[in-house]
Structure 1
Amino acid sequence: MMLKRIIVIDDEPHYRELIKEFSSLISVECMSFAQWSDEIIEYADKNTLLFLDIHMPNQDGIDTLMELNRLRIEAGVVILSGAEEGVVASVMKLGEVMHLTMLGQLNKPFSIQRFKEKVAAFQADKRKYADTQLKLGALEITEQELTEFFEKGWFYPVYQPQIAPKTQTIFGVECLARLDHPDLGPISPLSFIDDLIRLELIDQFTLLLIEKALTELGPYLKKNRHVAISFNVSAMSLNRTFTSNTINLCQELGVSSGQITIEITETKAITLSEEALYSVSKLRAAKFNLSVDDFGTGHSTMMQLHELPFNELKIDRSFISKITLSSAALKIVEATIKMAQSLSFNVVVEGIETQTQLDLVSALGNCYVQGYIYSKPIPAQEFVEFSNALQGL
């Protein structure tokens, strides 16, 4: 799905005319409005990019966002404003909470280059959606159905590369789960992980994914000893049995523990559980890497970095999506990278989707990046081909 129409809602005639002019230069139809109009409902579909000012008389941009949500309008939204950064950040967050497609901010005044970047962001978002074809939302899967999924082998791994941007070399690869549903197609783990935890099948699922991934990529990992593969592991899975099974599985498949990274989610549970503390200690003693997943969100804290044997930190995509819009977000990312480096942690920045984001993050220090700018999650053979191409093989 590509861009078919641009709509601008702004009470300033100059900016309405400017966006119409820029739209004509890229051969896209543009409709302009000084304020909200019911006519917009007819045209603002999922192939529409909407530029929305915040400060307008009568109905401002904040109330207009509420209207877009009420009407379930699927257009991509760019905040067009000269408002202070904190206001824009909160308006962006409001749109995200309402599950609108928020594509950032276009500061006034702006150039055609900045305008084109927002158009590119819209098109990238649509391509990403089309590529993944993942169905989201609760499926209300029963225990019997999940057991059937295991038996029929419908769970499978895909892989997303982690790149050192300054050298353009592969540092690692994250293994991500999918469910190949016969009726719905590929299903995101967001739709079934909670069910696996609720039905106490999460350990079985994680070990299955590790076994499949190490079987598929084992030959590649043995040939590329500098590359690590990471797996998301719930803190609730960190018990003696799971830890022992994980260590034994890696030994049986002949993959070095130093090439395995365990990304721990729900990190608060670790500080409350003797079993979890035992597990992270055993894993690090066995030379596995331990990563704080989605640092800066949820329960991850500075104290855990001090008390637990982590050696990697992942900066959550929720910060990265804002670094081109908010100097505060950029400073938080910079401070996090510097802190992690002072602790001799590897830093992986996830959710990099644009060249601007990549340039900003690369300038902050030595870190590794993961995101659609390099590759979507892909099957094992495609990942190997991607790696070989990057190495010039």
Structure 2
Amino acid sequence: MSMTGSDAAGGRLLVLDDDTDVGATIAAMGRRIGLEARSVSARTDFLALLDSWRPTHIALDLIMPEADGIEILGELGERGGDEIIILTSGAPARVREAAERLGLEHGLSIAGILPKPFSFAALGALIAQPIERPMAGKLAQPQTAGVGVTREHMMRALAERQFSLVYQPKINCREGQLAGFEALARWEHPELGALMPADFIAHAESFGLIDEVTVLLLEEGIGWLSERINDNRLTLAFNMAATTLTRPAIVDCLLQLCADRAFEPGRLIIEIAETGATQDPVRSLDVMTRLRLRGVRLSIDDFGIGYSSLSQLVRLPFSEVKIDKTFIAAASHSSEARSIISAIIGLARSLELETVAEGVEDLASFHQLKSAGCDFAQGYFIGRPMTGDAVMTWMGQPAA
């Protein structure tokens, strides 16, 4: 759900704080903003009111003798509610930030942190800001859990070309101009609906069909960009699964696809998760080196969240580093995240690698990245993933 300050009137704020005076104060502040507000100090009362009173906002104390705020975040995530949550705590900043990240990983709508001692203005700002419910993170279950994607489903999908691409624009930070697109896979399943890559790529690998899916989507993406947009400067980034990365035949296949469309291989960027090159390191290095010798660019995806990022940069012929979106999301309120981003950009520059920031959601984040020297940026602030026809409209060109 999304709620702004104008929506606050008619909303309901439920406060859980073991200090009844503090809870009553937060509730009173909520009423001044225009919310109905109730305050409780017991976990059982809080859970009962979630069902009977159905609040739109929750103010949750993280440290309480009889109720663990972290445990309650987990319970809220399991319930799958759409309440907007404000965390209150006197804990150190890094601990509060870790709790906020955990809430987001549970798929909760976290408005932010209200450190103690708090002010009416700070609470009002958190209540008033628009909040988009995030997609559940690593702790969530995939959409297809329990529904059973079969090999027959996937064979039919390949035959009927049910797999398709959407394109998210990427811009040059320095000039603000369009630099290219990332191609993102989708499966329009006739029974399960629209499926994201996390819902079917692992199935494709286990069924031995990932190469077929990869080639089909590469053909679509290269064909779309070469035929629809007359700009040879624009690049196309494409994610490649770890198993495909170990197949030497993919090199010739990819180069032939480029040749068939008169598409310069240097415009193609293959994004590889840092764990992708560790399953069969010798074959992966073989494939990656051959691709680079033919001009194809290689990007290490989600850089900074794994254990082997630095060793992979030294060992493998990457041309680009893609900064993980978790650092971008945290940069607005975490000095540590900003320091990590600056360090990654500095490291990449010293290795003569370009940098891309993903998950750029607002102008402030973009300005921070530009000031830090990041080369490229993508995210909802720049453009959401779009169909090919929607991209043409976004660019001010006629669709097919």
Which of the five TM-score ranges fits, normalised by the shorter chain? 0.7 to 0.9
Please name the residue that 2:253 is paired with.
Answer: 245
Shift of residue 93, structure 1, vs aligned partner? 4.4
Rounded Cα–Cα distance in structure 1 between residues aligned with 2:31 and 2:373: 37
- Is the 2:357–2:376 contact (alpha carbons within 8 Å) kept by the matching residues of 1? yes
Instruction: For residue 57 of structure 1, report the CA deviation from its aligned partner.
Output: 4.3
Distance 1:346 1:99, change over 3 A: same
Q: TM-score, normalized by length of structure 2?
A: 0.83
User: Which secondary structure does the structure 2 equivalent of 1:321 belong to?
Assistant: helix
User: SS of 1:248's equivalent?
Assistant: helix
Contact 1:6 1:50 survives alignment (8 Å): yes
2:2 partner amino acid: M
Equivalent pairs counted in the alignment come to 379
Which SS does the other structure have where 1:125 is aligned? coil
Return the letter of the residue paired with 1:335: A
Shift of 1:35: 5.0
Q: Distance in 1 between the 2:51 and 2:231 partners?
A: 54
Secondary structure at the counterpart of residue 277 of structure 2: helix
Determine the C-alpha separation between the residues in 2 that align with 1:44 and 1:160: 40
| Matching residue within 215, 225, 228 for 2:235 | 228
Partners of 1:321 and 1:16 lie apart in 2 by 32
Aligned equivalent of 1:279 = 287
Distance 2:31 2:283 in 1: 59
Distance in 2, matches of 1:232 and 1:368, equals 17
- Look up the SS of the partner of 1:214 in the other structure: helix
Q: Does 1:305 align with 2:313?
A: yes
Q: CA deviation at 1:377?
A: 0.9
Separation in structure 1 between the aligned mates of residue 209 and residue 268 of structure 2, nearest angstrom:
22
2:204 pairs, out of 196, 200, 220, with: 196
Give the percent of matched residue pairs that are identical in Structure 1 and Structure 2: 29
Aligned residue for 2:139? Answer: none
Counterpart residue number, 1:357? 365
Alignment partner of 1:58 is 2:66:
yes
Q: Give ranges in structure 1 of 5+ residues lacking alignment.
A: 130-134
Matched, 1:152 2:160: yes
Greater shift after overlay, 96-105 or 150-159? 96-105
CA distance in 2, matches of 1:44, 1:281: 60
Name the TM-score, length of structure 1 as normaliser: 0.85
Q: Residue 153 and residue 198 in structure 1: after superposition, are their counterparts in 2 closer, same or farther (change >3 A)?
A: same
> In 2, Cα distance between the equivalents of 1:271 and 1:153?
29
What do the CA deviations read for 1:269-314 (whole angstroms, capped 9, x no partner)?
Answer: 3584332212111111111110001111235421221221111111
Q: CA RMSD in A?
A: 3.0
8 Å contact from structure 1 (residues 263, 290) kept in 2: yes
Give CA deviations for 1:187-227 in whole Å, capped at 9, x if unaligned.
11111110001111111111111111122222345x22222
* Pair 1:338 & 2:337 matched: no
Cα pair 2:108 2:133 within 8 Å, conserved: no
Are the equivalent residues in 2 in contact too, given 1:7–1:49 (CA < 8 A)? yes
Q: For the structure 1 residues 153 and 144, does the alpha-carbon distance in structure 2 shift closer, same or farther, using more than 3 Å as the test? A: same
SS at match of 2:332: coil
